[in-house]
Amino acid sequence: MRYVHTVGIHIDEVRRIATLARLRLEAAEEERLCAELGAILEAFERLQRLDTAGVAPTAHVEEFGAPLRADEVTNLPADEALLAGAPARDGRRFRVPKIIE
Amino acid sequence: MSVPPYQWSLREAAARIRRREISAVELTRTALARIQAVEPAIGAFLTCCEADALAAAESIDRRMAAGEDPGSLGGVPVAVKDNICTAGVRTTAASRMLESFVPAFDATVTAKLRHAGAVIVGKTNCDEFAMGSSTENSALGQTRNPWDSSRVPGGSSGGSGAAVAAREVYAALGTDTGGSIRLPAAFCGVVGLKPTYGRVSRFGVIAYASSLDQVGPLTRDVTDAAMVLEAIAGHDPADSTASPRPVPAYQDGLDAGVRGMRLGLPREYFVQGMHPEVDRAVRAAVGELERLGASIEEVSLPHTDYAIATYYLIATAEASSNLARYDGVRYGLRVPSANLGEMYERSRAAGFGTEVKRRIMLGTYALSAGYYDAYYLKAQQVRTLIRRDFAQAFERCDALLTPVAPTPAFRLGERIDDPLTMYLSDILTISVNLAGLPALAVPCGMDSDGLPIGLQVIGRPFDEATLLRIGYAHELASDWHRRSPLP
């Protein structure tokens, strides 16, 4: 990585974000992401210099609202097809590690 | 000597099937043979479904024998990007996470292709979860540019661009979140259309950034793009963002010409740093449209400089949320673990590649407490300013003309270790997604190394018809779309 960064993001912050994102990172990955995210955020600093006071945010551009459809079942039962892709199953159920002791 | 069938356009192939000059099965066999011949050098496909394709072709031939209509794309071999679900056919998004995922259902666009009679021959390579500009982020294969095997095909729909350019299929579907249809179209010398946000359903398309993603065609010429768009567009009860507006007959009026049209050149899109041969080719295309009767004027999109930062904050924020579903529970990769939390973390660590992790991390950061206002909300506000720029330009202009990318196809490996430089590949395409507009990429020249150059035509919302008309007028006046990288 050839970036030299000044905005910076601390390695502890990288670890906190990785926990939020449910990603287990190797130590080398943490360091690399620390440098890369710092450089990317620094390049994006220009946004902060733009005055956006009073500008409404755009979350999406569609202009026709959210059309509703009739509350009717239209899909066929496909439990076997869906369960066929399960990493682990137990009959008609997905098998997961125990979550309650 | 007659032209081999794989060199026909989609329109010609469909017409010949309709006239019974060739059967759907025969045409599908020629496509499968072509794929077998060129794939070792190109690598456009992750999955080829020969048996399914031949069965679909047989059913088209039976329908025709029974006197039924084969459909607008009847019997024509096409490909689908591998982030679009195909029932019973592996759909990976080019990720280890979904390497053996077989969908139980078709995406709406897949079902619409089948309904129009198209024969799906395979699934094309792309950047993992459509995150990239070169297809080098695929975890499952490398795709090479058919014009120069040392170069990238563009991304993220690189397999779709390469498959169409190498004449393996007559059309391919791609997805475009920040340029992922237009960039590979330009780099591979084919036509690519990113429809208006809401024009095409995304149901069954593996989500990357839901406020930006659109599905569209990559084809050999503008007429073929019009045919595929007409087949896949329209409202979908399964996707509330798919507009209820009626779908025009895009082929009608293609040849109406550009006389009297007002076309704008955004000055921020013709800046230093652009490859001089790209500049020259795009200006030549603009001159040709002016000669055909369009009036050309310079316009300004003053917030263009902020588009990369805006896009990469919004897209990664949405991606971090969309990709939270990959937890190893119901489908996809699972790394067996003693407890659930560890299973999530280890499955995601093993299933996602470098760029996907980078974007999930950036997006999670931008959404996290303490940074939300400074990054995510700020980016959404700047998105409003970028939209206003376009709205103002379209008060004066019917469409805007720009290059698709500042350079022709770059070399494999050239940008892969430098994410910011890679992100800059999208500098001329991403604003279109932020504003939800349609844009068409058409081949408009070659550089001195023989690499294709693309012209981008940006339009008003739901005005794909005007873009296709402009693209068609340009095509009639040039022969760039007829050039084929391989014999």
Min distance A6 CA to chain B CA atoms (Å): 16
B281 lies in a domain? no
Whether B194 and B181 have beta carbons less than 8 Å apart is answered as yes
- Told to judge if B81 belongs to the known catalytic residues of this protein, a careful annotator would answer yes
Q: Of B9, B23, B81, B133, which residue is the catalytic one?
A: B81
Whether B466 and B258 have beta carbons less than 8 Å apart is answered as no
- Collect all residues with Cβ–Cβ distance below 8 Å to B487 and sequence separation of at least 6: none
A82/B104 Cβ within 8 A = yes
For B351, the closest chain A residue by CA position comes to A23
In eight-state DSSP terms, residue B5 is: G
Least confident of B38-42, B270-274, B309-313: B270-274
User: Do B409 and B373 share a structural domain?
Assistant: no
Kindly list the residues from chain A whose CB atom is less than 8 angstroms away from the CB atom of residue B357.
Answer: 23, 25, 29, 33
Choosing among B373, B381, B437, which should be mutated to test the A contact, i.e. which has the most A CBs within 10 A?
Answer: B381
Classified as helix, coil or strand, B174 is strand
Other C-beta atoms closer than 10 Å to the C-beta of B354 total 17
Torsion from C-alpha of B279, B285, B286, B290, nearest 10 degrees:
150
pLDDT at A62: 77
pLDDT at A3: 43
Whether B178 and B127 have beta carbons less than 8 Å apart is answered as no
Which tokens sit at B303? 């917030």
Least confident of B130-134, B292-296, B335-339: B335-339
The CA-CA-CA angle for residues A44, B131, B481, to 5°, reads 110
- Collect all residues with Cβ–Cβ distance below 8 Å to B393 and sequence separation of at least 6: B264, B266, B299, B300, B301, B400
Whether B169 and B163 have beta carbons less than 8 Å apart is answered as yes
User: Do B160 and B244 share a structural domain?
Assistant: yes
Kindly list the residues from chain B whose CB atom is less than 8 angstroms away from the CB atom of residue A24.
Answer: 342, 345-346, 348-349
The candidate with the shortest Cα–Cα distance to B448, out of B277, B274, B273, is B277
pLDDT at A4: 44
Kindly list the residues from chain B whose CB atom is less than 8 angstroms away from the CB atom of residue A86.
Answer: 330-331
Nearest CB to A48: which of B334, B368, B374? B374
The residue whose two tokens read 């190797």 is A26
Please report the sign of the dihedral spanned by the C-alpha atoms of residue B327, residue B331, residue B333, residue B334. Answer: positive
A93-94 vs B191-194, strand pairing mode:
unpaired
CATH of the domain at B97: 3.90.1300.10
How many whole angstroms separate alpha carbon B159 and alpha carbon B124? 5
Whether B442 and B455 have beta carbons less than 8 Å apart is answered as yes
B432 lies in a domain? yes
**What residues form DSSP beta bridges with B80?**
B123, B173
pLDDT at A101: 67
Flag whether pLDDT at B148 surpasses 70. Answer: yes
B262-266 vs B191-194, strand pairing mode:
unpaired
Q: How many CB pairs under 8 A join A and B?
A: 169
Flag whether pLDDT at B296 surpasses 50. Answer: yes
Q: DSSP string spanning B294-354?
A: -EEEEE--TTGGGHHHHHHHHHHHHHHHHGGG-SSSSSS-----SSHHHHHHHHHHHHS-H
Whether B385 and B304 have beta carbons less than 8 Å apart is answered as no
| Final residue in a domain of this structure, among B329, B364, B379 | B379
pLDDT at A7: 64
Task: Quote the mean pLDDT of chain B.
Answer: 97
Range of the domain at B112: 5-263+404-482
Kindly list the residues from chain B whose CB atom is less than 8 angstroms away from the CB atom of residue A59.
Answer: 211, 380
User: Do B409 and B360 share a structural domain?
Assistant: no
Whole-number percent of chain B with pLDDT over 70: 100
User: Do B145 and B40 share a structural domain?
Assistant: yes
> Does the CB of A36 have a partner CB in chain B at under 8 Å?
yes
A24/B360 Cβ within 8 A = no
Nearest CB to B240: which of A22, A44, A67? A67
Q: Which value does ipTM take for this structure?
A: 0.92
Nearest CB to A47: which of B211, B306, B345? B306
Nearest CB to A62: which of B198, B349, B435? B198
A23/B380 Cβ within 8 A = no
Min distance B363 CA to chain A CA atoms (Å): 9
| Final residue in a domain of this structure, among B362, B379, B396 | B379
B202 lies in a domain? yes
B435/A61 Cβ within 8 A = yes
**What residues form DSSP beta bridges with B424?**
none
Nearest CB to A21: which of B100, B364, B384? B364
In eight-state DSSP terms, residue A42 is: H
List, in sequence order, the alpha helices (H) in B352-418: 354-367, 378-396
Which tokens sit at B458? 């940006």
How many whole angstroms separate alpha carbon B248 and alpha carbon B251? 9
The residue whose two tokens read 């210099």 is A49
B294 lies in a domain? no
User: Do B439 and B352 share a structural domain?
Assistant: no
User: Do B116 and B47 share a structural domain?
Assistant: yes
User: Do B87 and B184 share a structural domain?
Assistant: yes
User: Do B415 and B358 share a structural domain?
Assistant: no
pLDDT band at B457 (very low <50, low <70, confident <90, very high): very high
User: Do B420 and B356 share a structural domain?
Assistant: no
User: Do B431 and B364 share a structural domain?
Assistant: no
B300 lies in a domain? no
Q: Report residues of chain A scoring pLDDT below 50.
A: 1-5
A56/B384 Cβ within 8 A = yes
The residue whose two tokens read 């469409």 is B399
User: Do B315 and B448 share a structural domain?
Assistant: no
pLDDT at A75: 80
Distances (CA, A) of B166 to B44, B159, B193, B300: 9, 10, 18, 37
pLDDT at B181: 98
For A75, the closest chain B residue by CA position comes to B105
| Final residue in a domain of this structure, among B379, B396, B425 | B379
Residue B453 identity (one-letter amino acid)? I
The CA-CA-CA angle for residues B274, B179, B85, to 5°, reads 155
Nearest CB to A39: which of B100, B337, B420? B420
B238 lies in a domain? yes
Find the distance separating the first CA and the last CA of chain A, reported in whole Å.
Answer: 45
Average pLDDT over residues B336-350: 95
Choosing among B90, B323, B365, B372, which should be mutated to test the A contact, i.e. which has the most A CBs within 10 A?
Answer: B365
Kindly list the residues from chain A whose CB atom is less than 8 angstroms away from the CB atom of residue B342.
Answer: 24
Min distance B198 CA to chain A CA atoms (Å): 7
Average pLDDT over residues B114-130: 98
pLDDT band at B19 (very low <50, low <70, confident <90, very high): very high
A87/B334 Cβ within 8 A = yes
**Chain A window 39-98: which residues touch B at a Cβ cutoff of 8 Å?**
39-41, 43-44, 46-48, 50, 52, 55-62, 64, 66-69, 74-75, 78, 81-82, 84-88, 94, 96-98
Tens-place pLDDT, residues B393-444: 999 999 999 999 999 999 999 999 999 999 989 999 999 999 999 999 999 9
B320/A59 Cβ within 8 A = no
Nearest CB to B383: which of A58, A69, A87? A58
B389 lies in a domain? no
* Tally of domains within chain B: 2
Whether B176 and B216 have beta carbons less than 8 Å apart is answered as yes
B381/A36 Cβ within 8 A = no
For A33, the closest chain B residue by CA position comes to B358
Torsion from C-alpha of B253, B259, B260, B264, nearest 10 degrees:
90
Average pLDDT over residues B218-225: 98
User: What per-residue string of b and e applies to B192-221 under the rule 16 or more CB within 10 Å gives b?
Assistant: bbbbbbbbbbbbbbbbbbbbbbbbbbbbbb
User: Do B350 and B251 share a structural domain?
Assistant: no
B274 lies in a domain? no
**What residues form DSSP beta bridges with B81?**
B124
- B83, exposed or middle or buried, with CB in 10 Å at 0-12, 13-18, 19+? buried
B102/A84 Cβ within 8 A = yes
The residue whose two tokens read 């899109």 is B269
Whether B28 and B6 have beta carbons less than 8 Å apart is answered as no
Q: Of B23, B156, B320, B347, which residue is the catalytic one?
A: B156
How many whole angstroms separate alpha carbon B464 and alpha carbon B222? 11
Q: Of B72, B157, B180, B431, which residue is the catalytic one?
A: B180
In eight-state DSSP terms, residue B376 is: I
